[in-house]
Homo-oligomer: A and B are copies of this chain.
Amino acid sequence: MEMLLEVSYALDTFYFLMSGLLVMWMAAGFTMLESGLVRSKNTVEILTKNIGLYSIACIMYMLVGYNIMYGDSSSSIIPGLSFLVGGDNSVADVVAGGEDAPYYSNISDFFFQVVFVATAMSIISGAVAERMKLWTFFIFAVAMTGFIYPIQGYWSWGEGFLDELGYMDYAGSGIVHMAGATAALAAVLLLGPRKGKYGPDGQINPIPGANMPLATLGTFILWMGWFGFNGGSELKVSDVESANAVAMVFANTNLAAAGGVVAGLITARLLFGKADLTMGLNGALAGLVAITAGPDTPSMLLATIIGAVGGTIVVFSIVTLDKLRIDDPVGAISVHGVVGIWGLLAVLLSNGDATLTGQLVGIACIFGFVFVASLIVWLILKVTMGIRVDEEMEYQGMDLAECGLEAYPEFSGSAVTRK
């Protein structure tokens, strides 16, 4: 029996590590997606930003974030504060068996959680692309991944008051995706649109991304990584029910994304007359975000539909934000924020334990807190080091200004007919 408990512990730990690894891989996905959707003159900067933010997120979460989110606290609103990550389980504790025995490595849990915070942060970098100062962004990453994200994460996954109120968010449509999008929204409102994006009389000038294959690759990477993101969030695989649940989550995650692609492409086709690839890609991601709040309960058909609705919403959302002059080069606010909300509500369709109140309160609290907290940090940064590069630098491109490097130095760029 002891050996069996050990093998079972090993299997769950291994499952956590594989899931975490897949979520880590999403960092590459965001990087490719974003570097495909910006102009070539801003590509090196977005690459630097993405690999940098992932690193900062990992370090900050190790230093303080993990303990804020999952440490002890006497309040269900204000989390505790302590540093570094504790040790792992002893063999004795594991083989003791029973309800309370640990069934997977604590460190594997840390690894799985740390990649989630990186995801939340990645969402922001796309929205502020092509105009925000690099080092300002990095400072914000410190605040977001060390404090803002963990605090609201504590409320639900850390067994704080949102958990008590019955807020249901399986793998984080709200806690991860909407939280990231909210911080992005705060930033974009302060930053303003890219120069040349909006004309004087309501005119919207498109600024096409430089490299569509990269954007597509990024989407596929994200899709793949999402199996770890959602699949790992069952937190256990080692018995029949958990294994079935994980399998269901995989199948539903896949079908929601598929539904999102089809819906995104068809919606774009109906609205614009063309099969707009970028809407198909955003549709895939929207499908994934939509199912993330509850991939375990719907049937496959319902999961497909939830994803398809997400893929439809995202097209309208992108067009609407553009009309509102909220300039989001990669559509992050729509994909992760607007569709994240849809995902949280869609939980009600198949999960009897979820309540409309619970979901709405959760949305309101996360949005409210993250928006205000981010806005304050962004404002402080704006006043102190500045958040936006100057006009000439923006025109020249972030790459030369911030990184002294070109992404594609031999393909001379600056095409004749583009802004």
A349 within 8 A of B: no
Residues of B within 8 A of A88 (CB): 244, 247-248
Say whether, besides A210-B408, A224-B21, A407-B213, A51 and B284 are in contact (CB < 8 Å).
yes
A47 within 8 A of B: yes
Residues of B within 8 A of A43 (CB): 212-213
Residues of B within 8 A of A63 (CB): 301
Cα(A68)–Cα(B7), bound, Å: 33
Q: Judging by beta carbons under 8 Å apart, are A24 and B254 in contact?
A: yes
A35 within 8 A of B: yes
Interface size class, chain A: 35 or more
Interface stretch, picked from A148-156, A268-276, A385-393, is A268-276
Q: Judging by beta carbons under 8 Å apart, are B212 and A407 in contact?
A: yes
Residues of B within 8 A of A107 (CB): 244, 247-248, 250-251
Q: Judging by beta carbons under 8 Å apart, are A418 and B414 in contact?
A: no
Residues of B within 8 A of A31 (CB): 213, 216-217, 220
Chain B's closest residue to A28 (CB) is: B220
Say whether, besides A17-B227, A243-B14, A277-B47, A410 and B405 are in contact (CB < 8 Å).
no
Report A273-309 CB contacts with B as 1/0, cut-off 8 Å.
1111110110010000000000000011100100000
**Closest CB-CB distance, A317 to chain B, in whole Å?**
19
Chain B's closest residue to A13 (CB) is: B243
**Closest CB-CB distance, A115 to chain B, in whole Å?**
8
Residues of B within 8 A of A110 (CB): 251
Cα(A210)–Cα(B196), bound, Å: 28
Q: Judging by beta carbons under 8 Å apart, are B62 and A276 in contact?
A: no
A340 within 8 A of B: no
Say whether, besides A55-B258, A274-B405, A17 and B247 are in contact (CB < 8 Å).
yes
Do most interface residues of chain A lie in helix, strand or loop, or is the interface mixed? helix
A348 within 8 A of B: no
Residues of B within 8 A of A248 (CB): 88, 107
Cα(A90)–Cα(B240), bound, Å: 8
Q: Judging by beta carbons under 8 Å apart, are B413 and A413 in contact?
A: no
Q: Judging by beta carbons under 8 Å apart, are B415 and A84 in contact?
A: no
Interface stretch, picked from A74-82, A170-178, A197-205, A259-267, is A259-267
Residues of B within 8 A of A21 (CB): 22, 224, 227, 250
A368 within 8 A of B: no
Cα(A50)–Cα(B147), bound, Å: 40
Chain B's closest residue to A274 (CB) is: B404
Say whether, besides A108-B247, A231-B17, A244-B105, A7 and B6 are in contact (CB < 8 Å).
no
Cα(A244)–Cα(B299), bound, Å: 36
Q: Judging by beta carbons under 8 Å apart, are B47 and A212 in contact?
A: yes
Q: Judging by beta carbons under 8 Å apart, are A9 and B243 in contact?
A: yes
Cα(A281)–Cα(B247), bound, Å: 34
Say whether, besides A250-B17, A265-B52, A410 and B39 are in contact (CB < 8 Å).
yes
Q: Judging by beta carbons under 8 Å apart, are A11 and B13 in contact?
A: no
Chain B's closest residue to A407 (CB) is: B212
Residues of B within 8 A of A299 (CB): 84
Residues of B within 8 A of A409 (CB): 208-210, 415, 418
Cα(A43)–Cα(B411), bound, Å: 14
Q: Judging by beta carbons under 8 Å apart, are B237 and A403 in contact?
A: no
Cα(A8)–Cα(B10), bound, Å: 9
Q: Which 4 A-B pairs have the closest CB atoms?
A: A28-B220, A274-B404, A55-B258, A108-B247
Q: Would you mind naming 17 contact pairs between A and B with Cβ atoms under 8 Å apart?
A: A9-B240, A9-B243, A10-B240, A14-B237, A28-B217, A31-B216, A31-B217, A58-B258, A89-B244, A104-B243, A110-B251, A111-B250, A212-B405, A212-B406, A217-B217, A274-B405, A409-B415
- Given A4-B7, A6-B240, 18 extra CB contacts under 8 A: A6-B239, A10-B238, A17-B246, A21-B250, A43-B212, A48-B275, A55-B259, A55-B260, A56-B258, A62-B301, A85-B300, A89-B244, A108-B250, A211-B407, A212-B406, A212-B408, A217-B217, A274-B405
